[in-house]
Structure 1
Amino acid sequence: MGASTASFVTTVVVGIVITLVVGVLLRRIGRDFLAEVYGDRSLSTSLNYLLVTLYYLFALGLLTLVAGADLGLAGVQLVVVRVGIFLLVLGGVYGVAVLALERARRGRREEDLEDDFRRGAEGRR
């Protein structure tokens, strides 16, 4: 195995492990957020699977691009830089996903508060 092949394989293996760990975390967090937002267990589960599938497709696509990038480095340095780039972009994607879930939850809470307020106002009339 040549240096470039070894660095490619190492980057892919490390990237897949990181992708799987972060995907499991996103699935757990997404399940709780979506269950709170939608209440309907089957709907929140389905949406969560869609979200996690999108994450995996994006992360693995990003991994293939980063692993194949020729950065003018060699050996361990190349692997570390590739994994670093992958982690930075993946962290951003994870953050955006969590923010989107939080925004959906906040919107649902505001709708519930408005509904409660309207019911209370109608009850006083």
Structure 2
Amino acid sequence: MNTNAYLSFLAIGIVLVVVDGQVIYRSGRGYLENSYGDPGAGASMTRLVTVLFHLVALGLLALLSTIPMGDGDLPGVVGRLGALLLVLAVIHAVTLGALGRLRGAQVGEAVVNRRMSRSEAEQRGSVVTPVPGQEGNYPDVSPSLEHRAPYSTP
């Protein structure tokens, strides 16, 4: 593969990696926006995941550029681009999984914090008017319309 084909593959590959990284960053920032009650923390975590994505993808792009593929310049570039797209798809899926795990941790922490604040409110004696048919100061659900009784969990 001559220098022009090699440089064109690298240029196209870098553009693909940067565009995919920006899609991940912008979508991930919206997805993790309210992490820990601070929009800045979600943007920071998304930035870290996106930087990791870029480093891995650009490293694999560099490695992929050294593997001989195809007989001529055009088949070599097309073959490498195909392999790059497949590798980018796998890296993209792994990055989405990482963002999903971060979001799951945030949701879990929000539930714990909400329960803690609920128990603190009960300890302070704050009064919430219970829904008819339920006992306690902090009702969780409204009664069933059919049976006029609270929902029950198995």
| TM-score above 0.5 | yes
Aligned residues: 123
Task: Give the aligned partner of residue 26 of structure 1.
Answer: 24
Larger Rg: 2
Between 1:87-96 and 1:67-76, the stretch displaced more is: 67-76
Structure 1 residue runs of 5 or longer lacking an equivalent are none
Is 2:99 the partner of 1:108? no
Greater share of residues in helix: 1
Code of the aligned partner of 1:70: P
Between the aligned residues of both structures, percent identity stands at: 32
Task: Give the aligned partner of residue 95 of structure 1.
Answer: 93
Q: Distance in 1 between matches of 2:45 and 2:32?
A: 8
Preserved contact between residue 23 and residue 52 of structure 1 (Cα < 8 Å): yes
CA 1:38–1:4 in 2, change beyond 3 Å: closer, same or farther?
farther
Q: Distance in 1 between matches of 2:86 and 2:75?
A: 16
Task: Give the aligned partner of residue 73 of structure 1.
Answer: 71
Is 2:37 the partner of 1:39? yes
Is 2:13 the partner of 1:15? yes
Between 1:60-69 and 1:33-42, the stretch displaced more is: 33-42
Task: Give the aligned partner of residue 54 of structure 1.
Answer: 52
- Tell me how large the CA RMSD over aligned residues is: 2.3
Shift of 1:107: 3.1
TM-score under structure 1 length normalisation: 0.81
TM-score under structure 2 length normalisation: 0.68
Q: Distance in 2 between matches of 1:83 and 1:6?
A: 15
Of structures 1 and 2, the one scoring higher in RCO (CA 8 A, sep 6+) is 1
Structure 2 residue runs of 5 or longer lacking an equivalent are 123-135, 138-154
Code of the aligned partner of 1:58: V
Q: Distance in 2 between matches of 1:50 and 1:100?
A: 11
